Amino acid sequence: MQSLLRLLQDGQFHSGEELGAAIGVSRAAIWKRLQALESEFDLQIHKVRGRGYRLEMPLSLLAADLIAASCSYPVTLLQQVDSTNAEALRRLSSGATPPLLVIAEQQTAGRGRRGRRWASPFGENLYYSLLLRVSGGMRQLEGLSLVVGLALLDALREAGVNEAGLKWPNDLLVGGRKIAGILLELSGDPADVCHVVLGIGVNINMRVAPSGDAIDQPWTSLRQILGEQVDRNQFVTSLTRQLERYLDMHRLRGFASLREQWEESHLWQGCLVSLAAGSQAIKGRVLGVDDTGALRLEVEGREQVFSGGELSLRLHDDS
């Protein structure tokens, strides 16, 4: 079915005879495969007598060979998976040696922070998980999600989304709407030797939320902002190059060397915010982050520092 998809990705009409000849199967077999594509990947395929078949909208499918040629990590491209983060951890448990990169055309159980579902339509967005081995103790993990955010920000700007910015701890926004998110997951002892999955989700060519997915916050995509389809292979190449660069800086000099740069792109710097920590809500003004990536807030005239995966930050006047 992958070969059939690559023929159809241009969004143009192709006759059943043409498709069958290209793949080496009968027209009847093409019909069955098209039905399977619609069912398995929730794709809409238009069928017009005398013209043939076409996808409702063109796709920019990922190509493992193109990505691998510009990447220093072994690359696994999956058509469909529950979660690229979960798959990376499964491969680690099965004896795979990091670093390794897992990307997918679609996730069936994509996850964001705090257990939130990440909408993952087929062939539209980016679902990207880089598994790394980390040694040297906690210093190598300090501010890591923020460093990934800087790499992702540069990739978005390289793609032409110049107004993108960061929201602590691991979201990227454009005009108050989420365009990308980061989810880090650890395996092993963070004080000694461990493994970390850098999970990245980016809304690239999504035009509408997929059926059945109720996205609980404002969102946007590169396509909506730029007004045209984006080459996802080119974006993956850019993102991977930026990640390699920022991870090298982080490994050599720590997050402290990137702290000022991160704060310059923090959209809520100096803003009044409400920080949710469990059932508690803490109101304060954002001062920035410290050398470990923790959030610095001015609360009732005093500076307080917050870190942890279960914290959620909102603007104070954001209902």
Question: Of these residues, 33, 178, 223, 232, which one is catalytic?
Answer: 178
Q: Cis before residue 169, ω within 30 degrees of 0?
A: yes
Q: Which of 74, 59, 47 is nearest to 123 (CA)?
A: 59
Catalytic site residue 133? no
Per the omega criterion (within 30 degrees of 0), is the bond before 121 cis?
no
Q: Which residues sit opposite 259 in a β-bridge?
A: none
Cα 153 from Cα 66, distance rounded (Å): 22
**Set 113, 167, 223, 259: catalytic member:** 113
Task: Determine whether 113 is an active site residue.
Answer: yes
Contacts of 293 (CB under 8 A, 6+ apart): 142, 143, 144, 145, 146, 169, 255, 307
Nearest alpha carbon to residue 108 among 92, 94, 87, 93: 87
314 assigned to active site: yes
Catalytic residue among 6, 91, 251, 314: 314
Catalytic residues: 113, 178, 314
